[in-house]
Amino acid sequence: MTKERFFIYSTVFLIMGLSNSVIPVLPEIASASSVGPGTIKYTLLFSGYFIGALLTLIPFGFIADRYSHLKLIILAISLTAISGIMLTLTSNTYLMIIARILEGCACGAFFPPAYAILAEYQNKNRYLGEFNFLLNAGLASGAVAAGFLADGYVKGAIILFTALALIVFCFGMIIPGTYQQGSKNNDQISKTGKEPHSYDIFLNETKKILGIALNPMYITTWIIAFFIFGITGVMLAYYPQYSSGMLSKPELGIVIAIVYISSMATNLIAGRLNINYRKMINSGIILAAAGVIVSIKYPLTGFTLLGIGSGIGMIGLPIAVSYMDIDKNDKGTSMGIFTTYTYMGLAFLPMIMGYFTKFGYQIMFTGTAVLMILTLLLKNSNKNNS
């Protein structure tokens, strides 16, 4: 394995791990800062990560064309370490929200150059598969570590992933020259050497992005992407507080991790089945909504269904995007817009549903599931539905 791949793999694992190490202990962290569940501060402690990613994914995509990919990844792991240090040392709500937003910015800085580097390898399909596996493994590990270390110290998992991020940052600082000297032969890579975007090109790209993102023909797919990922965000944000008298911290960590484990398994299985993408999406909607309802009484079963539903959606929705009547040169842009809508769901649906926690968590969870089911009534505008 090259140093670059090791650096990318370890970085994605740690960025995802740190982001999820906050979730199982979010009620305790919020309580220590006198922040009540359902408040805007509470939801920002959860959603700040996704807001940061949402705001920076596209800008860093443009920046990745101008600067060294590896240097952007070094920036990403440094932001991850800084946010972890802030979360460890402070109990100030506003500083912790800033730290969560910084975590999201690290995500935005990381993914465009990481995908660009891996796409230049000869064995890119294999390496991208390994990358996505480690992404989900990091999310699951963060949740499990937080649950098991919480009894000793609430922020134990945050400290663990922060320390590892600092080590990986130091490793990254010693390899920039290696990347610059690489070639495309075999497992070596080289920089794309694309010319920087001019201001006019930037404006044209922005108009094109808005044209696709707001096109009524595609809005059904975007809305479903918003909800099928947002519903997972709602459960991750509020289930730790809801289950405080039902599950221990280690049990909660396992329950949250099962979302990612079941999603990973579903990706492997469903991706090999010849199923109409619309059926995949509808099945994902139903299973995800059912998972939310079932989790009210049966956490492990409910979160397994939620993971399976979101996993099926993760396959069906990108296929739906690929069938959109969009110029082939803009397919990459459409996938970027799809990713943006998923982060919008993760960031903003928990904030919206947080208002309804005053009626009780069970009612709020049920309402979220009903909204998810209602997306089945939306008309599919894709011409090709095979």
Question: Cα–Cα distance between 45 and 237 in angstroms, integer?
Answer: 9
Q: What is the pLDDT of residue 271?
A: 66
> H helices of the chain, where?
3-21, 26-32, 40-63, 69-89, 93-118, 124-149, 156-173, 176-180, 199-213, 219-242, 249-270, 277-295, 299-322, 331-354, 361-374
Domain 201-386: give its CATH code.
Answer: 1.20.1250.20
Token digits of residue 373: 């089911």
Per-domain residue ranges for the chain? 1-197, 201-386
> What does the DSSP 8-state code read for residue 121?
S
> Is residue 193 predicted with pLDDT exceeding 60?
no
More confident residue, 128 or 167: 167
Q: What is the pLDDT of residue 381?
A: 57
- CA 243 centroid distance within chain: 23
Q: What is the pLDDT of residue 289?
A: 96
pTM of the model: 0.77
Question: Among candidates 102, 133, 105, 124, which has minimal Cα distance to 13?
Answer: 133
Given pLDDT bands bounded at 50, 70 and 90, which one contains residue 178? very low
> Is residue 119 predicted with pLDDT exceeding 80?
no
Given pLDDT bands bounded at 50, 70 and 90, which one contains residue 128? confident
Q: What is the pLDDT of residues 151-164, one digit of tens each?
A: 889 999 999 999 99
More confident residue, 371 or 245: 371
Q: What is the pLDDT of residue 181?
A: 39
Q: How many CB atoms lie within 10 A of CB 185?
A: 9
> Is residue 184 predicted with pLDDT exceeding 90?
no
More confident residue, 209 or 176: 209
Determine the average pLDDT of the residues in 25-32. 88
Token digits of residue 281: 């999406």
> What does the DSSP 8-state code read for residue 216?
G
> Is residue 326 predicted with pLDDT exceeding 90?
no
Please state which of the ranges 5-9, 197-201, 206-210, 253-257 shows the lowest mean pLDDT: 197-201
Domain 1-197: give its CATH code.
Answer: 1.20.1250.20
Q: What is the pLDDT of residue 191?
A: 45
Q: What is the pLDDT of residue 323?
A: 80
Q: What is the pLDDT of residues 279-301, one digit of tens each?
A: 889 999 999 999 999 999 999 99
Please state which of the ranges 94-98, 322-326, 361-365 shows the lowest mean pLDDT: 322-326
Determine the average pLDDT of the residues in 172-199. 52
Determine the average pLDDT of the residues in 67-77. 88
Determine the average pLDDT of the residues in 212-230. 87
Q: What is the pLDDT of residues 249-290, one digit of tens each?
A: 899 999 999 998 998 888 778 767 778 888 889 999 999 999
More confident residue, 35 or 270: 35
> Is residue 120 predicted with pLDDT exceeding 70?
yes
Same CATH topology for 1-197 and 201-386?
yes
Given pLDDT bands bounded at 50, 70 and 90, which one contains residue 126? confident
Token digits of residue 112: 């465009």
> Is residue 105 predicted with pLDDT exceeding 80?
yes
Q: What is the pLDDT of residue 329?
A: 62
